[in-house]
Amino acid sequence: IVMTQSPDSLAVSLGERATISCKSSQTLLTSSNENYLGWYQHKPGQPPKLLIWMASTRVSGVPERFSGSGSGTDFTLTISSLQAEDVAVYYCRQYYSDPITFGQGTRVEIK
């Protein structure tokens, strides 16, 4: 399954909304109505951090400004009010089928 993110990079003003799109080449929706899609945040010198799983479930401790949505083949990660500490590269990842695949990443910067 090919994962395609857009845009490759975006610059957003502090406090503004950032939206990242992720499209899969095949559906990630299972027969139990779950989407096997996760979102990671990756900062330099740190391990990737899981933010969202099952497309829209926020991991415990992740700020509420991060939200995931979408189903099937189209997904979105939204940062509702960008903070300085959110500067990072964000990746979507599918775990619906083997091989597990990541999107190419979206770099988020401050405008």
Partner 1 sequence: EMQLVESGGGLVQPGGSLRLSCAVSRFTFSTYWMSWVRQAPGKGLEWVAILRQDGVEEYYEDSVRGRFTISRDNANNSLHLQMNSLTTEDAAVYYCGSGSGWGDIVYLGQGTLVTVSS
Residue 99 as a binder of partner 1 (CB under 8 A): the answer is: yes
The pattern of x and - marking residues 13 through 42 that bind partner 1 according to CB under 8 A reads: -----------------------x-x-x-x
Q: How far apart are CA 24 and CA 45, in angstroms?
A: 28
Q: What are the phi and psi torsion angles at 59 (to 5°)? A: -70, 145
Total of chain residues touching partner 1, rule CB under 8 A: 24
Dihedral (CA of 104, 67, 62, 59) sign? negative
Q: What does the block give as tokens for 22? A: 């992720």
Residue 1 beta carbon to partner 1: minimum distance, rounded to whole angstroms = 11
52 DSSP β-pair partners: 39, 58
Residues that bind partner 1 (CB under 8 A): 36, 38, 40, 42, 46-50, 53, 59, 89, 91, 93, 95-96, 98-105
